[in-house]
Structure 1
Amino acid sequence: MKVPYHRFLSALCAVCFLILTLFPTAALAAQADGLSAAALTSEDAARMQQTDDAVAALTDSDGFTAMSRTERLDAAQEQLEQLAAKGLVSARSILVDEENGMVSFTYSCGVQGGILVDDLDEENTAMNLSLLPSIDLQEMSNAPRGDLGSAMIYYAFDNTVNSSRYPYYSYMKGFWTAMGLNTRIDTTVTVSDLRRMDRYDLCILSAHGAYYPYMTGWLFKQLRTAPIILLTEESSFSKDLYYGIDLLTHRIIKINGRYCVTPSFFKSTYRFGQLENTIVYSETCEFLGVDDAVDPSMANALLAGGARAVVGYVNNVYTVYSRSMLWDTVNHLILGQPIEQAVAHAKDTYGENDLVWYTSQGGQRPHAAAAYTMLLGDASAQLTVHESASAFSEQQKAA
Structure 2
Amino acid sequence: MRLLAAIATGLALLGAALAPPTPTPPAPSAPAAATWGVAPSSAKGPNGRPAFTYKLDPGATLTDYVAVTNHSARPLTLNLYASDAFTTAQGGFDLLAGGQQPTDVGAWVRFTQRTLIIPSTSRLDIPFTLTVPDNATPGDHAGGIVASLAATSTDAHGNQVAVDHRVGARIYLRVTGELRPALAVEDLRVRHSGSLNPFGGGTLTATFTVRNTGNVRLTGQPSLAAAGPFGLGGRSVDAAALPEILPGGELTTTVRLSDVPPLFRLTANATVTPAAVGDQVLDPPPQGDAARMTVWALPWPQLVLLALLALVGWALIAARRRRARQIARVVAAAREEGRTEASREAERNTAGRNTPALSTASGDADATSHAVTTRHDATPPRRLGSNQ
The TM-score with structure 1 as length reference comes to 0.26
Structure with larger Rg: 2
Larger helix proportion of the pair:
1
Question: Which structure is higher in strand share?
Answer: 2
Report the TM-score when normalising by structure 2. 0.26
